[in-house]
């Protein structure tokens, strides 16, 4: 199938999941995760109507942004991978969103390095729900302090929370961590933070995520195909 056909299939999955959750399908935004795929694939998805794209690797993302400069004003670029201090400047300059803030130092650098006159950088805090040492993210019980500190920074707009749960086989098992992230956001909102984004759900578990309130699903494989990683 073409990228356009696969994109349409994903849209149909989102629409059905939203219907099953008694939600408006327009309340769920699709982020096409284009890591490891060429800019030509991003352009194919763009030509099929997709406007938001996610990248996990800084240099690869920057290269694609440059290659697609002719449509930069129409594309929303999201950085969703782990972020090191020495890479914050180029991300602050080039991307529209960052989903993976897990410590205050990174947020402070992004705020300081956002170009003058640029709109606020839209950001999410990544929460490590499963406690996996291999995953980035703040511990759930430390999320509130980080969220309040990030929300106070200039040049950033804290939008919500992001997570990458462990893979699970059943719908109920997939729903459980998404429910925990939603409950955490509800707690933060009750504490006065203006949050509207739950970035959760990928190709294998988007239905579970939408049932639990995802407002943004990050889909790569189901749109672009299976990834091949090269060193």
Tens of pLDDT, residues 171-196: 999 999 999 999 999 999 999 999 99
Tens of pLDDT, residues 122-163: 999 999 997 777 778 999 999 999 999 999 999 999 999 999
Q: What pLDDT is stored for residue 185 in this prediction?
A: 98
Q: What pLDDT is stored for residue 136 in this prediction?
A: 87
Q: What pLDDT is stored for residue 231 in this prediction?
A: 52
Q: What pLDDT is stored for residue 56 in this prediction?
A: 97
Domain layout of the chain by residue ranges: 3-224
Q: What are phi and psi of 161, to 5 degrees?
A: -125, 150
Of the options 1.20.1250.20, 3.40.50.1110, 3.20.20.10, 3.30.1360.70, the CATH number for the domain spanning 3-224: 3.20.20.10
Q: What pLDDT is stored for residue 135 in this prediction?
A: 77
Secondary structure, 3-state, the chain? CCHHHHHHHHHHHHHHHHHHCCCCHHHCEEEEECCCCCHHHHHHHHHCCCCEEEECCHHHHHHHHHHCHHHHHHCEEEECCCCCHHHHHHHHHHCCEEEEECCHHHHHHHHHHCCCCCCCEEEEEEECCCCCCCCCCECHHHHHHHHHHHHCCCCEEEEEEECCCCCCCCHHHHHHHHHHHHHHHHHHHHCCCCCCEEECCCCCCHHHHHHCCCCEEEECHHHHCCCCCCC
The ranges of the chain with pLDDT < 70 are 229-231
Q: What pLDDT is stored for residue 230 in this prediction?
A: 61
Q: What are phi and psi of 170, to 5 degrees?
A: -95, 155
Among residues 75, 88, 95, the alpha carbon closest in space to that of 32 is found at 75
Q: 84: burial class by Cβ within 10 Å (0-12, 13-18, 19+)?
A: exposed
Among residues 96, 93, 66, 98, the alpha carbon closest in space to that of 82 is found at 98
């Amino acid at each position: 199938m073409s990228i356009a056909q696969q994109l349409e299939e994903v849209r149909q999955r989102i629409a059905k999941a939203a219907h099953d959750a008694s939600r408006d399908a327009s309340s769920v935004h699709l982020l096409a995760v284009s890591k490891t795929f060429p800019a030509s694939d991003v352009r194919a998805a763009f030509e099929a109507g997709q406007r938001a794209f996610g990248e996990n690797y800084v240099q690869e993302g920057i290269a694609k942004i440059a290659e697609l400069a002719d449509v930069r004003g129409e594309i929303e670029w999201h950085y969703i991978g782990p972020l090191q201090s020495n890479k914050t400047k180029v991300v602050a300059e080039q991307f529209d969103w960052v989903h993976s803030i897990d410590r205050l130092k990174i947020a402070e650098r992004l705020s300081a390095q956002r170009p003058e006159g640029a709109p606020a950088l839209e950001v999410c805090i990544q929460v490590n729900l499963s406690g996996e040492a291999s995953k980035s993210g703040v511990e759930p019980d430390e999320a509130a302090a980080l969220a309040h500190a990030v929300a106070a920074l200039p040049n950033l707009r804290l939008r919500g929370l992001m997570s990458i749960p462990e893979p699970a086989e059943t719908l109920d098992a997939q729903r459980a961590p998404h429910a925990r992230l939603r409950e955490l956001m509800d707690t933060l909102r009750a504490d006065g933070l203006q949050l509207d984004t739950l970035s959760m759900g990928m190709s294998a578990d988007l239905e579970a995520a939408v049932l639990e309130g995802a407002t943004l699903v990050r889909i790569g494989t189901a749109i672009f195909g299976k990834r091949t990683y090269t060193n």
